[in-house]
Chain A
């Protein structure tokens, strides 16, 4: 089974330019997440899709970031215009829906991560 794939693996752009990152989740995974790791800091949540709908976009830094998941398959994350502080590694992850465990508790499915896109804004 193919894992989560991301494209490109690396991107170097100048401040003010536009960059679009792509994520292909594992087939059949309704949940798709974007995370970012800025140098020296922890991985931070950006947003969460359930199929084509944005479930939670509380981690998006500002309106220069636009994520889409048309058709509920692959997703794109566009940064326009890019700023120096946008440099970092952008990870995508996917997971199946959570399962109902005993009683009312939910078993959270594992999120499987892609290799990331390393973005450098100069």
Chain B
């Protein structure tokens, strides 16, 4: 089976940096995805890691360590619109197993 853990809630200040951690225990692993979800909307793709290391995409970066079962999403230069839920999901056999999501609140 799969188990995904991430913090339930986080708060950060506009313009700052925040790191959202995700740990996982899996019986199969074909990569880890991060999605952003605003209330009432579809989860939207942010990043994908299948090999160890850091993937950078603009203000967002994601890191993976397969040996530690650990990933993080790093958001820089935070904007108010970054207030959303961030979902960590592991791909195993083509289906995604999600964590409960981290609700991030950006304050001025």
Contact = CB atoms under 8 A, between A and B. Distances in A.
Contacts of A3: 42
A108 B31 contact: yes
Given A48-B95, A98-B94, A43 B87 contact: yes
Interface stretch (B14-22, B66-74, B98-106): B98-106
Contacts of A25: none
Interface stretch (A63-71, A80-88, A110-118): A110-118
Contacts, number: 59
Contact of B50 (A42, A59, A108): A108
Contacts of B31: 107-108
A106 interface: yes
Given A35-B96, A113-B44, A114-B42, 13 more contacts: A33-B95, A33-B96, A42-B100, A48-B94, A55-B94, A93-B96, A98-B94, A105-B50, A107-B31, A108-B50, A110-B45, A113-B43, A115-B42
Interface of A: 3-4, 31, 33, 35, 41-45, 48, 55-56, 59, 91, 93, 98, 105-108, 110-116
16 contacts: A31-B94, A33-B95, A33-B96, A35-B96, A43-B89, A43-B96, A45-B95, A56-B93, A106-B30, A108-B30, A110-B48, A111-B45, A112-B45, A113-B44, A114-B42, A115-B42
